Chains A and B, each alone.
Chain A
Amino acid sequence: MTAASLVSLVASAMLLGSVYSLVNLGVVLLVRTTGTMNFAQGEFIMLGAYVMSALGPSMGYWPGLLATCVVMASVGFLGYYLLMRFLHGGSEFDKVVLTFMLSIILTQAVIMLWGTDPREIAPATRARVPLLDTSVQATTFIAIAMTVAIAVGLVLFLSRSITGLRMRALSADESLAEYYGIRTEVLSGLAWAMAGVCAAVAGVIYAQGTAVALTLPEILLLAFPAAVLGGLESFEGAVIGSLVVAGVYTFTNYVLGGQWSIVIVYSLMLITLMVRPYGFFGRPVAQRL
Chain B
Amino acid sequence: MTFSTAGRTVRPPRVGRTARVVSTLAAGLMVSGVLAACGGSDDSSSSGGSYKIGVEIDQTGRSKASGVAQLKGMTAAADAINKAGGIDGHSVELIVRDTASDAAKAVSAYSDLKSQGVSAIAGFLGSVDLGPVVKRAKADNMALLATGSPPDLLDPKNTVFSTVANVNAQSEATLSYIKNRMDDGDVAPEGRVGILRYATPAGEQQSVALAAKAKELGIDIVTEQTAPPGAASLSSQLQTIVDKKPDAVIFLVLESDLLTAVKAADATGLPKDTPIASWAFASSPSSLALVAKSGYHDIAASANLQSPSAAEQSDGLKAYVTAAKAAGLDPGSTQIPEGYAQTMIAAAALKKCGYPCSSKDFIAALESTSTDLDGFAFGPITYSRDEHRGFTAMRFVTSTDSGGIAYAGDPIEIISK
Which A residues have a C-beta under 8 Å from some C-beta of B? 2, 5, 8-9, 11-12, 15-16, 19-20, 35, 83, 86-92, 94, 97-98, 101, 104-105, 107-108, 111, 115-120, 122, 126, 134-137, 140, 173-176, 206, 208-211, 213-215, 218-219, 222, 246, 249-251, 253-254, 257-259, 262
Is A250's CB under 8 angstroms from B233's CB? yes
What is the 8 Å Cβ interface bit string for chain B, positions 209-251, against chain A (1 contact, 0 not)? Answer: 0000000000000000111111111011101101100000000
Q: How large is the interface on B (under 10, 10 to 19, 20 to 34, 35 or more residues)?
A: 35 or more
CB-CB < 8 A to B295: which residues of A? 126
Asked whether any CB of chain A lies closer than 8 Å to the CB of B199, the reply is yes
Q: How far is the CB of A1 from chain B (nearest CB, A)?
A: 8
In the bound complex, residues from chain B placing their C-beta under 8 Å from that of A258 are: 199, 225-228, 231, 237
Judged by a CB distance under 8 angstroms, whether B16 is at the interface is yes
Q: Which of A97, A115, A173 contacts B23 (CB 8 A)?
A: A97
Complex alpha-carbon distance, A172 and B258, angstroms: 45
Q: How far is the CA of A8 from the CA of B236 in the complex (A)?
A: 9
Cβ-based interface call for B41 (8 A):
no
Given A16-B233, A86-B15, A86-B19: A116 in contact with B69 (beta carbons within 8 A): yes
- Which of A116, A126, A222, A250 is in CB contact (< 8 Å) with B68? A116
A-B contact pairs, 15 of them (CB 8 A): A2-B243, A5-B239, A8-B269, A86-B19, A92-B1, A98-B19, A116-B68, A116-B335, A126-B295, A173-B3, A209-B233, A218-B230, A250-B236, A253-B237, A258-B228
Q: Which residues of B contact A210 (CB under 8 A)?
A: 232-233, 256, 259-260, 263
Chain B residues within CB distance 8 Å of chain A: 1-3, 8, 10-11, 15-16, 18-19, 22-23, 26-27, 29-30, 33, 60, 62, 64-66, 68-69, 199, 225-233, 235-237, 239-240, 242-243, 255-257, 259-260, 263-264, 266-269, 284, 286-287, 290, 293, 295, 330, 333-335
A257 touches B226 (CB 8 A): yes
Closest Cβ–Cβ distance, residue B282 to chain A (whole Å)? 9
Known: A12-B267, A211-B263. 13 other contacts (CB 8 A): A12-B236, A83-B26, A91-B1, A107-B60, A120-B293, A140-B267, A209-B260, A211-B290, A215-B229, A254-B236, A254-B239, A257-B226, A258-B228
The 4 closest A-B pairs by CB, nearest first: A12-B235, A211-B259, A213-B256, A253-B236
Query: Is B260 a contact partner of A211 (Cβ separation < 8 A)?
Result: yes
Most buried by B among A101, A115, A251: A115
Task: Pick the contact of B1: A35, A86, A108, A213 (CB < 8 A).
Answer: A35
| Max chain A Cβ within 10 angstroms of own Cβ: one of B2, B231, B264 | B231
Instruction: Please name all residues of chain A whose beta carbon is closer than 8 Å to the beta carbon of B16 when the two chains form the complex.
Output: 90
